[in-house]
Structure 1
Amino acid sequence: MLIHPQIDPVALQLGPVAIHWYGLTYLAAFGLFMWLGTRRLQHPPFVSLPQWTRRDVEDILFLGVLGVVLGGRIGYCLFYKPAYYLANPLEILAVWQGGMSFHGGLLGVLLAMVWFARSRQRPWLQVMDFVAPCVPTGLAAGRVGNFINGELWGRVADPSLPWAMVFRGAGDLPRHPSQVYQFLLEGVLLFVLLWLYARGPRKTGQVSAAFLVGYGSFRFIAEFFREPDAHLGLLGLGLSMGQWLCVPMVLAGLVMGVWASRRG
């Protein structure tokens, strides 16, 4: 069995200022989005649309960060601990205590992109098609931060599994390193598939649909190896909250994909 190395979450201490690894993974995610976004400008249909510029990438990144932070926090409070935060509303602001939801962050980004599309008079789905292939590398960076922090570990695994790992915060039993699974599935694999798919000429909405189906499917699979939230456990049909949130995501992606493919 492997032992989690218990990496110090603080990467660099400069007097009273502590730079955390998790913060650095966020910076890496933003940098990767900016780099990929500028390359995305060379893909169809954006390469033939002169109104799309590097300034748009910068503005989308800024609005996307706001959407991720606000949506992720509010989504976590609503999806995972609604009763607690209803009784303690000021705790919603205590983001330093942890608690972010990807699905809430996704909704926040969707709303942020609605505002961007309306302010620039661009089709909303065209904006989402631009953004979608640039997202998985940021998700991968976030999973690296989860692994460094030794959080969001997996379910108990067979000790004979070569990569089974003991996370000290989870006791002495070997577990699946689910952060690594999610890094590989939702991050690396989804990025490769979506980037290659998006490089070709696609109808408006098809790339966004592929992201919804791809992420929802990969996250649904990974959740079978990830320890459910202690205060929720497994819900109906033996599925976790993360899996139930992926179901409407995949369905929406399938409907959007069919609709987009039938458009002229």
Structure 2
Amino acid sequence: MLKRRLSLIAALALSCLLVPVAQAADTVRLATTTSTYNSGLLDYLLPKFEADHPYQIQVIPVGTGKALRLGRDGDVDLVLTHAPAAEKAFVDAGYGVEPHGVMYNDFVIVGPTDDPAGIAGGDDATQAFATLAEDDALFVSRGDDSGTDKKEKILWEQAGVTPDFDGFRAAGQGMGEVLRMASELQGYTLTDRGTWLAMQDKLDLEIMVEGDTQLFNPYQVILVNPERYDDLNTEGARALAEWLISDEGQSLIDGFRLNGKVLFHASAGEDVDPESVANQE
């Protein structure tokens, strides 16, 4: 009798331990760009989502190229990225479904205060890149297949430049680290405005070129196709995606500020004209 009673007590104790685990929020794996992470946007948004939904978001901040590869391999449930051509290829190949525009900002070219290449004040990113190459200026590139890296490659191509000049440095790092390197080396780099605004007070750099429509930077959220993998948390991923494009999510994105500055503009359901974005920051 005593053994049976002890066994019952042990079973009850074990069940009490297991109940919280069974009720714990499901994990949703989100692969996203370093810009949404470094800027503080996700730290601001996700606790508000988690407070009202039975999901916990595991954020994997990587470059857009790697985020899409994680999605392609079924290692995440959804992606939040900023490289339109790569995202279209991802969806067209059947790896992603239900793409939605979420927000946008823009890229800027930053550099040292003394501006040895003389590009400050310009609004033509292609011409600025051509000048940087001609002057053999020190330029720190992401070099990591991120959305920023993809945009940079487009600008070099448009400038008719193969970026192999002596001053070119491919870091293979995220945006925050590249900005720190450019500041320490007193070089130039291309950055999304959100990460720039989040870090500018810690850097010895200034904006050199902005306002070109070529620097438009839209973000999309895309679910990984559940028909390809049977272990995805598609329900949770869809809940997060729909919340991001909901009135609540969009209002929170628009309301996110750092030092009084707007970092991202909500754009769900909008057909944003890049011309209208130039110089609005």
State the structure with more CA Rg.
Answer: 2
**Is the structural similarity TM-score above 0.5?**
no
Larger RCO (CA under 8 A, 6+ residues apart)? 2
Q: Which has the higher strand share?
A: 2
Q: TM-score, length-normalised on structure 2?
A: 0.23
Q: TM-score, length-normalised on structure 1?
A: 0.24
Q: Which has the higher helix share?
A: 1
